Chain A
Amino acid sequence: MIDGLIAAQATPAEPATADYWSMLFVFVLATFIGLGVIRRVSRLLYTPLMSLTNAISAIAVVGSIAVTGGEYPKTIRVLGAIALFASMTNIVSGFLITDRMLKMFKKQ
């Protein structure tokens, strides 16, 4: 009976651990894709590349939204809102300045 209870409790924890391994898996694969794609980036465009990847990694905005908008204590949500502001600033300025720079590259 007690054994059964422990087993029942242990089972739901299983997928969570398994998920971490699949996260690591995704991380490794994404890094390889990243290395492959970035290696081909034109050397002329390293500066806009950096502002572009910066804007993309501001996808952290997703985490900030979850923390800010969830049913959590106020202090937690304040931290989330500051993080959301920081990520949003990166998204807006990152994409805008990347486009501004890329517009300048003309063949003739």
Chain B
Amino acid sequence: MTSAVAQVAAILATALFIFSLYWMNDPKTARHAVVAGVSGMLVAVLATWFQPEIVHHGWIVLAIVAGFIVGVPLSLVPLTAVPQRTALSHAFGGLAAGLVGTAEYFLGLGENPAQLTAFRMSAIVAEVILGFLTFTGSLMAAGKLQEVKWIPQRPVTYPGQNVVNIGVLVIAVALGVLVVVHPTAAWSGQVFSAIVGLAVLFGVLLIIPIGGADMPTVISILNSYAGLSAVAMGFVLNNKLLVTAGALDGSSGLILSLIMCRAMNRSFTNVLFGAFGTVQKTAAIGEQKAWKQETVEGAAQLLEQASLVVVIPGYGMAVAQAQHKVRELYDQLTKRGVTVRFAIHPVAGRMPGHMNVLLAEADIPYTALVEMEEINPEMPQCDVALVIGANDVVNPAARYAKGSPIYGMPIIDADKAKAVLAIKRSKNPGFAGIDNELYVQDNTWMLFGDAKAVIGELVKQLGSGGLH
């Protein structure tokens, strides 16, 4: 009877989760998604909690209360910090899977060795390896994104790195096979602990060589791993709801990873095993041409006279927290009858969709946000392309410079606009360490300074002078 209740609850929860994801296809229905998700979760949790096998309630209540105490503040972080919050939550997901897998193994070892069948042991090993590598890998990613002092921001590479990384993983898997074959030998417990240790180590090693520009892809891959570790937990606990929910999460991470990889023209393995930081000096364009600096007055005038302005935001906008000033600029320009569009590159920012969220936070209507593929055909008609803290995603070298690390990456065709205004914090090259010839084009004018300050000046200029 109770089991039937649990089964019905699981089916109901699965259906609710699928609806939840389905409603994410349009911002208009998206908030239903949260209602459906929460309902599914509530159904599943209550159905599990009321099973007769659950006899101790104190710790459950305690852990749930603690989850609320930590979870609520984590949901209130500024939106610029959403990438690190996301990475942190992947870490928590991985940790939960890893711990449950460990608990299940030692439980079987101590009380019921017959339960440790080859199939179940394989699932436990998969769960523990995936769980713990996601845990430390995501913690490292979160640390890099949060710019924690003792975690290097720049990619750390050394000779033979890939051999070391793959070696660690191979040893972990080999030991895994060993405990699958001999789950209850005298030494199996130690071997199992060694697997945990290696998975923890592998997670760290995997993320060390990865730089900020690759974070959108890496976060998506870790998302996928977190989902898969939940699937493995489902296999271990013989729970179909865990398998379906984990599979939904895993496939979401997979799709996002593929989109991110395609948007950088790189493969999975290239992101994970080919550190981006390898600076290659391509043609020294910067030496032949110099950039032209523009004054705020001049830039304001240029914007005011335009009929179509395309704003291209990048991570620099997030760092400078400039999105609210951008909104003011948007207001000033639309008031004057200028059409303003925002061109969003899939990998702009530090996670998929990062720019959209930041601009939505600043109350910019989502109808003004346009994807790269849709805006590119319109770029020749664009009067002013305003580049705010973006660099590699507008670098024309991606089209032809074969030696460049960004070669082949689809870009927003800012260079095809009639005029380009680029706001840049410093005169240094972008993250990939490549010169950007967009900045030295004949029709490009630079505005150097903090994005927030520069746009604030522009807004002030537009607000005081000009026609109304």
Contacts and interface: CB of A to CB of B under 8 A. Distances in A.
Interface of A: 16-17, 19-20, 23, 26-27, 30-31, 33-35, 37-73, 75-77, 79-108
B54 A63 contact: no
A49 B371 CA distance: 17
Contacts of A79: 99-100, 102-103
9 contacts: A17-B119, A27-B234, A31-B251, A50-B353, A71-B53, A89-B66, A91-B67, A93-B74, A106-B365
Report which residue of B33, B76, B238 has the largest number of chain A beta carbons within 10 angstroms of its beta carbon: B33
Given A47-B354, A54-B90, A60 B244 contact: no
B70 A89 contact: yes
Given A83-B95, A92-B67, A42 B26 contact: yes
Contacts of B103: 67, 72, 76, 79-80, 83
A56 B71 contact: no
B360 A56 contact: no
B55 A70 contact: yes
Interface string B30-69: 1101100110110011001101011111011011101110
Given A52-B37, A88-B66, A57 B86 contact: no
B256 A60 contact: no
Given A77-B59, A104-B357, A92 B244 contact: no
A55 to B, nearest CB: 6
A33 B41 CA distance: 19
Contact of A88 (B67, B246, B363): B67
B235 interface: yes
Contacts of B252: 34, 38, 41, 49-50, 53
Interface residues of B, number: 114
Nearest to B54: A69
The 3 closest A-B pairs by CB, nearest first: A88-B67, A92-B71, A46-B353
Contacts of B17: 56, 59
A87 B251 CA distance: 19
B27 interface: yes
A104 B251 CA distance: 26
Given A19-B238, A61-B45, A76-B107, A86 B366 contact: no
B42 to A, nearest CB: 10
Contact of B72 (A59, A93, A102): A93
Contact of A48 (B14, B25, B30, B238): B30
Contact of B48 (A20, A43, A58, A65): A65
B214 interface: no
Interface in B77-97: 77, 79, 82, 85-86, 89-90, 92-93, 95-97
Contacts of B398: none
A63 B27 CA distance: 32
Contacts of A56: 17, 20-21, 37, 40-41, 245, 248-249
Contacts of B238: 16, 19, 23
A23 B246 CA distance: 12
A90 B26 CA distance: 24
Interface string B219-232: 11001001100110
A26 B244 contact: yes
B356 interface: yes
A87 B66 CA distance: 11
B21 A65 contact: no
Contacts of A23: 234-235, 238, 240, 243
A57 B48 CA distance: 16
A92 B34 contact: no
A18 B397 CA distance: 56
Given A57-B245, A59-B17, 15 more contacts: A27-B231, A50-B256, A53-B223, A56-B245, A59-B242, A60-B96, A60-B246, A61-B45, A63-B96, A63-B100, A75-B106, A88-B63, A96-B75, A106-B366, A107-B365
